[in-house]
Structure 1
Amino acid sequence: MKKTLILYTGGTLGMRRSESGYIPDADLEGALERLLQDAIGQLPSYDFQALDPLLDSANMQPRDWYRIATLIRDNYSQYSGFVVLHGTDTMAYTASALSFALQGLAKPVLVTGSQIPLREMRSDAYNNLIAALLLSGSDEIKEICLYFNGKLLRGNRAVKVSSGSLDAFTSPNYPCLGEVGIQINIDRNALLEPGDATQFQIPESADGDVVLIKLFPGISSLFLSKVIEHRPRGLVIETYGTGNAPTDDCAFTSQLEKATELGIICVAVSQCLENVVDLGKYAAGSALLRAGVIGGLDMTSEACFAKLNHLLAMGYPIDKIKELMETSLCGECTPS
């Protein structure tokens, strides 16, 4: 018999109205029992566990990613699949982080949520939850997935693209793993090949101290210098196009050189949803390469941030981290 563990972290799906707006509702378990009672026998059986405290996903921190990963690790042998109920705002970050913490996974983990609370009319929560539960019983899926509005996406390839549509997520640089409509269609060729063994990696110190900045016209070297003064261990830079930056400003590239000399690992991703970073394509990108910046290939900003944070939190040497940032660990990027 298939059995799923539902981990409720908070988020819109389980929220209720209050005087100050929607807030997490701790009574979701009873609501789910009433809602799913007619589907008994058609879905995997499940246990329900709520995080304490429940979190709006805007309040999620790296330590919360690893709290979720720890719960999956500690219950791994008892369940055939897992469903993580999560807010949409940072869902792509959490799905990415879980993929790095739970490498070599041999069971499905579905991260899902909703745009409208379960208790409200026209809620998308029911369909998302039912589909995620069904998929959690799959023998084919052996990775961290994000499921939303009929689309099964690789967790570390997903991005949120809408706050006003039920079709809130997409996977710009990798095909959907499957679609749930009248039929459930899984693209077996797109699924991650299972590893030889589980390689769960949950660091003792969750925060790798990574900063994410977005380039914009007029960005000054002073701005970058203030970021570097903070001495983060990692810096993810959302560049233009294929990895371009304002390199006419020598002081700007000098700050990046200073950062790499200080041991700060700098990785360039693209502001374009559909992208592949190639720092050698244009002179404006080559200057970053000479400054010691690493190209983030076709990773999303969320996946790059979570990956760099994870590698730093795990305590790998700088040279090893640089190598791994350009290596696909769990399908998060397409190697060049």
Structure 2
Amino acid sequence: MKKILLIATGGTIACSDEGKGLTPHYNIDDLLERVPGVKDLCHITGKHILNIDSTNMNPKFWVDMAQTVYDNYNDYDGFVITHGTDTMAYTSSALTYMLKNINKPVVITGAQYSIEEFGTDARQNLSDAIRFALEDIAGVFIAFDGMIINGTRAMKVKTKSLDAFKSVNYPYISRIKYGKIYYDNDIHKNHQLKSDAELIFESSLCTNVLVLKLFPGIDPKIFDFIKKEYKGVIIESFGIGGIPFENFDITSKVKELIDSGVAVVVTTQCLEEGVDLEIYEVGKELARNKIIYANDMNTEAIVAKLMWTLGKSENIDEVKKLIETPVMGDCCY
């Protein structure tokens, strides 16, 4: 039987309501007792490293999680991390970049409802995550509502429903039904084990980044503040890459950021299909500068990748190259 390490960090899945609202409460043994049968599938060991609501997640805790996987890597065949849903997609992306050449499954899961609640999704999600962690597959994944999602492609799109997560701009890795795993065979090939893979733990993250969502009438002065205070900014543009250039002239401010050495990543507010700065006149003007293309990456992955990249280099050309180079299927073009 394979050996699985279950790493608990809190979240709704482990919550209880003792009169003051849901707060993380249950330990690993409590969780496993409510998922009968999984101990017949594998040898499973637990490690409780955090007990937080995932709204309180931060990059330091990402490092703790990645460190736990790295320290125990040779002793286990797969890893399951229980986590709150609100920031789960950020964490799955961050672990993908920090655990370079990962050659085992790391499966993150959680629940919309506490494991003590009637009709909870916690039992099924945890069971599915453990089953998938037993597979011969490489990468970081999210298991939720019977679906397995590439860790850099997941987004939480619903606040209450059980199908809270969506795989954006990328097929689902697999689905799990009645305990059986059904793969997308074309995608499965991208996550096959590599015989020569050596795990490298890259823990240096630069958190001095900002996500800025454009809106009609945004004051350009915000860019003067960004230029002084941040090393990187992710601009959520309109549509396929639209940035205002008349009246409220944002284009010239973006150029100033680039000239000052700030890493500027342009993405879209739209959920699917990504950006293309070659379509409109303003985009072509920006594209001649050192704009970093997010392509079809989602914002959660871009945040983690920008932190990881700036932790490796402050050279803008190198940052641009690293961001635009696909890692574990995080972008398709």
TM-score bracket for the superposition, by shorter chain length = over 0.9
The answer for the alignment partner of 2:9 in structure 1 is 9
Count of paired positions? 329
Distance 1:36 1:173 in 2: 32
Instruction: Tell me how large the CA RMSD over aligned residues is.
Output: 1.7
Shift of 1:315: 3.3
Of the candidates 56, 68, 71, which is equivalent to residue 71 of structure 1?
68
CA gap of 1:277–1:136, structure 2 versus 1, over 3 A, is same
CA gap of 1:57–1:213, structure 2 versus 1, over 3 A, is same
CA offset digits 1:216-270 (Å, max 9, x no partner): 111120122223232x111111111111111224742222111111211000111
The correspondence of residues 231-270 of structure 1 with structure 2, limited to 5 A, is 232-249=230-247, 251-270=249-268
Distance 1:255 1:4 in 2: 50
The correspondence of residues 153-172 of structure 1 with structure 2, limited to 5 A, is 153-172=149-168
Residues 253 and 291 of structure 1 are in contact (CA less than 8 Å); yes or no, is this contact kept in structure 2?
no
Distance 1:176 1:170 in 2: 9
Distance 2:38 2:248 in 1: 64
Q: Which runs of 4+ in 1 moved over 6 A?
A: none
Of the candidates 172, 176, 201, which is equivalent to residue 180 of structure 1?
176
CA offset digits 1:76-135 (Å, max 9, x no partner): 000000001011101000000111011211111101100000011111000000010011
Of the candidates 81, 87, 101, which is equivalent to residue 84 of structure 1?
81
Identity %, equivalent residues: 36
Is residue 2:331 matched to residue 1:333? yes
Is residue 2:304 matched to residue 1:315? no
The correspondence of residues 154-303 of structure 1 with structure 2, limited to 5 A, is 154-182=150-178, 183-191=180-188, 192-193=190-191, 194=193, 196-204=196-204, 206-230=205-229, 232-249=230-247, 251-303=249-301
Distance 2:203 2:316 in 1: 16
CA offset digits 1:138-177 (Å, max 9, x no partner): 01x2110111001111010111100111000011200000
Q: Secondary structure of the equivalent of 2:10?
A: coil
Is residue 2:42 matched to residue 1:44? yes
Distance 1:65 1:315 in 2: 20
Is residue 2:136 matched to residue 1:145? no
Give the letter aligned to residue 18 of structure 1: E
CA gap of 1:113–1:267, structure 2 versus 1, over 3 A, is same
Unaligned runs of 5+ in 1: none
Residues 178 and 186 of structure 1 are in contact (CA less than 8 Å); yes or no, is this contact kept in structure 2?
yes
Q: Secondary structure of the equivalent of 1:82?
A: strand
Shift of 1:200: 2.1
Distance 2:53 2:81 in 1: 14
Residues 208 and 311 of structure 1 are in contact (CA less than 8 Å); yes or no, is this contact kept in structure 2?
no
Q: Secondary structure of the equivalent of 1:246?
A: coil
Give the letter aligned to residue 22 of structure 2: Y
Greater CA drift, 248-257 or 83-92: 248-257
Distance 2:74 2:203 in 1: 21
CA offset digits 1:265-300 (Å, max 9, x no partner): 000111111122111111232233245322110000
Which has a greater percent of strand?
2
Distance 1:267 1:249 in 2: 23
Residues 95 and 145 of structure 1 are in contact (CA less than 8 Å); yes or no, is this contact kept in structure 2?
yes
TM-score (norm 2): 0.94
Residues 79 and 107 of structure 2 are in contact (CA less than 8 Å); yes or no, is this contact kept in structure 1?
yes
Residues 238 and 269 of structure 2 are in contact (CA less than 8 Å); yes or no, is this contact kept in structure 1?
yes
The answer for the alignment partner of 2:130 in structure 1 is 133
Residues 245 and 252 of structure 2 are in contact (CA less than 8 Å); yes or no, is this contact kept in structure 1?
no
Is residue 2:133 matched to residue 1:121? no
Shift of 1:37: 4.6
Distance 2:34 2:243 in 1: 52
Give the letter aligned to residue 10 of structure 1: G
TM-score (norm 1): 0.93
